[in-house]
Structure 1
């Protein structure tokens, strides 16, 4: 399936489906027995700096909606039992403040990747990737084996919904070729072998592969979630409230369910209202002319909140940890 970067490796939808099916089968059946690649990794021969730059520009132009895609992917990722177990065993996401700290660190890593020249091994982005690899190696030794399947499914969590549901998130489809190549490069540098890289093809077959991952993994997981799924997603979503104040855990889980193609559930009045507001904001972000004003405003607000992470963490700890309550007023236990 491997193709030169930027090329169209699929002549039609049928060939895209065929190539995507072979890749997903390889990830699901072979990848579960192959550990993460801990060997030193250099930039691959297929690296295309022009495409990487286009992917980085796509992020900069759509930071609010890309962050929503990432958060949705993380919520879905917690429905995967093997991933959920790893995150629970590390005990870094068991309360809103802990979840905020953990996932803001993840966001900061991602932002450094998007803002760095990945050709430079001394750039912040490349150093960040090395740090992530060290964390993976430590978790691999302490908790248990992290597989290529785990990494590929997590790779979807970062950006997959941007490809499968751009209209729901308010994302433009033009320019996503660069986004696909950027995440192919990141996957390679993180330790995903090229054979299991979810984004090894063109945009057409990469999107088809992502839809199959939803069908085989994220959809069933969110329809019948494992034990502790609600607990962990509550911590994640309440923890991210300072960054995205409109978040309601029940509403956001339902949004992710719908993005997985599941039938809508009727929610209580407040979550349903907040879900409708969330979906409307993303829909308006794709409306021509209106998006010329709305998208820059949303992007700026997201940038402002992410760049003020230290102040937000201090505020979050003061509000949540000292009082011993989450923002809905329910008591939670610090661990």
Structure 2
């Protein structure tokens, strides 16, 4: 056990020492075709003369006007936006200071030409009143110096298309029809991949719920239904989801009377029922039912907003916001496509972080094709289907979706978001012991290179151990087929036991009172 903890500590240190700063003090993101395979390994960032901005490659700052033409901000607007942007990470700041320890400090005096030259070469911001020198990336300084409305023109085509699907419901395509793009060999290979890597896949899907809940369009219907706003309710609701999804991996969705087909029809019918019910309600009445009433299990959301506020400095320009909601429909084509991301996005971007480092590209492409088929059967039109296209296309789409849509929304996490996801994780812990909100959030933040000091500070000793152990299992132990087979078997056994609990077990968990509930109706803060 000591060896396991030491090994996990080493992996955590490797991650913490990783930096976005290259030798020339510029920030370089990975090119579009590269994706981080494990959150605890240094990334081989490009050192070319180009910059990658959300998967779109531009030339260096000296020739940015050739990439995107925009009107420069005035000095006052430039300074205002710079003041709005927080320092990216403490780790990067420390690394930058070490890299530039021999570089003259910035001076506020206009007569110090050396400092001015250093500022121009290293894209540093003016020194603050405290004397601390803020470091900004090339792309951040480029954004500060450009018309951000012009930058919006690079919004990926698929994300623009999704916004047109917000007023469309079910595709009305019959479940008996077979699309002409169906490749049965890919479909079966995708099923085999899902079953071989089932343990890591379920973990990836659990983390993805944290991202999906950032969308009010996804979270509000869940609050409205009232079927997952307590740990026990969430246990029942998401256990049924796991069982249905598992049947899609084990059974043939193209056979009329198969278990997979029956479960697909159940889910599609549920979507249609709630689509009609919610969209027929008075909007104000619906909104009232979409806010949780105290007590609410939320203790970190305020601090998390502080951690995440620097993720998207251009958010207020509208780059990351949705278009007009004049014809908005709940449970629409865009919502269902976003949900598809929750089942495939993190796995295809970071397979090594979920035990699938040994999977081939063909395996992952088959998995993507499987979910294209599932989306088709659930009533998603081909043009909105998140998994339309080859693996490279879906990977790029997933990366764009994270950068443009998901990460910016982390700035607005609230009590509803935290409460609902805490209930999910606590419900899952009924049959998968050890998972907690803090461990899950920290794993996701480190996977996405997001600084989260308040989360790290909130960890108990047990949670710290579980984070390291989870990292060790996902990034290393699941690489070995015997350990992976054992983990899959244990998870399936736990799911099977959870489907037939004893009356005493049900009563014990249903009547369990959590600290946030015991503190009374005004409580917003509690921790297990």
Q: CA deviation at 1:285?
A: 3.1
Q: Does 1:280 align with 2:469?
A: no
Q: Does 1:221 align with 2:392?
A: no
Q: CA deviation at 1:325?
A: 1.7
* Structure 1 residue aligned with 2:366: 178
Measured at CA, do residues 200 and 238 of structure 1 come closer, stay the same or move farther in structure 2, by a change above 3 Å?
same
Task: Indicate conservation of the 8 Å contact 1:116/1:123, yes or no.
Answer: yes
TM-score normalised by the chain length of structure 1: 0.86
Aligned equivalent of 2:510, options 302, 315, 321? 321
CA–CA distance in 2 between the matches of 1:256 and 1:66? 14
* Structure 1 residue aligned with 2:432: 244
CA–CA distance in 2 between the matches of 1:168 and 1:299? 16
Counterparts of residues 69-80 of structure 1 (less than 5 Å): 69-80=204-215
Measured at CA, do residues 219 and 303 of structure 1 come closer, stay the same or move farther in structure 2, by a change above 3 Å?
same
Higher relative contact order (CA 8 A, sep 6+): 1
CA–CA distance in 1 between the matches of 2:519 and 2:382? 43
CA–CA distance in 2 between the matches of 1:275 and 1:155? 27
* Structure 1 residue aligned with 2:345: 160
* Structure 2 residue aligned with 1:105: 240
CA–CA distance in 1 between the matches of 2:386 and 2:155? 9
Q: CA deviation at 1:91?
A: 0.4
**Would you say how many aligned residue pairs link Structure 1 and Structure 2?**
314
* Structure 1 residue aligned with 2:221: 86
* Structure 2 residue aligned with 1:258: 446
CA–CA distance in 2 between the matches of 1:277 and 1:13? 30
Q: CA deviation at 1:100?
A: 0.6
Aligned equivalent of 1:59, options 194, 211, 217? 194
* Structure 2 residue aligned with 1:30: 164
Q: CA deviation at 1:302?
A: 0.8
Task: Indicate conservation of the 8 Å contact 1:62/1:299, yes or no.
Answer: yes
- Pick the structure with greater CA Rg: 2
Task: Indicate conservation of the 8 Å contact 1:251/1:275, yes or no.
Answer: yes
Task: Give the secondary-structure state (helix, strand or coil) at the position aligned to 1:242.
Answer: coil
Cα RMSD (Å): 2.4
Q: CA deviation at 1:22?
A: 2.1
Q: CA deviation at 1:80?
A: 1.3
Task: Indicate conservation of the 8 Å contact 1:218/1:260, yes or no.
Answer: no
CA–CA distance in 1 between the matches of 2:402 and 2:349? 9
Q: CA deviation at 1:272?
A: 2.9
Aligned equivalent of 2:354, options 152, 169, 174? 169
* Structure 1 residue aligned with 2:255: 120
Task: Give the secondary-structure state (helix, strand or coil) at the position aligned to 1:228.
Answer: helix
Task: Indicate conservation of the 8 Å contact 1:215/1:260, yes or no.
Answer: no
Q: Does 1:300 align with 2:489?
A: yes
CA–CA distance in 1 between the matches of 2:164 and 2:332? 10
CA–CA distance in 2 between the matches of 1:59 and 1:261? 26
Q: CA deviation at 1:59?
A: 1.2
Task: Give the secondary-structure state (helix, strand or coil) at the position aligned to 1:194.
Answer: coil
Q: CA deviation at 1:124?
A: 0.9
Q: Deviations over 1:175-229 (max 9, x none)?
A: 1111000000001111110001111010111011011111123222334314401
CA–CA distance in 2 between the matches of 1:93 and 1:195? 31
Task: Indicate conservation of the 8 Å contact 1:242/1:316, yes or no.
Answer: no
TM-score normalised by the chain length of structure 2: 0.56
Task: Indicate conservation of the 8 Å contact 1:222/1:257, yes or no.
Answer: no
CA–CA distance in 2 between the matches of 1:158 and 1:183? 8
- The answer to which of 106-115 and 165-174 deviates more is 165-174
Q: CA deviation at 1:312?
A: 4.4
Task: Give the secondary-structure state (helix, strand or coil) at the position aligned to 1:162.
Answer: helix
Counterparts of residues 197-208 of structure 1 (less than 5 Å): 197-208=385-396
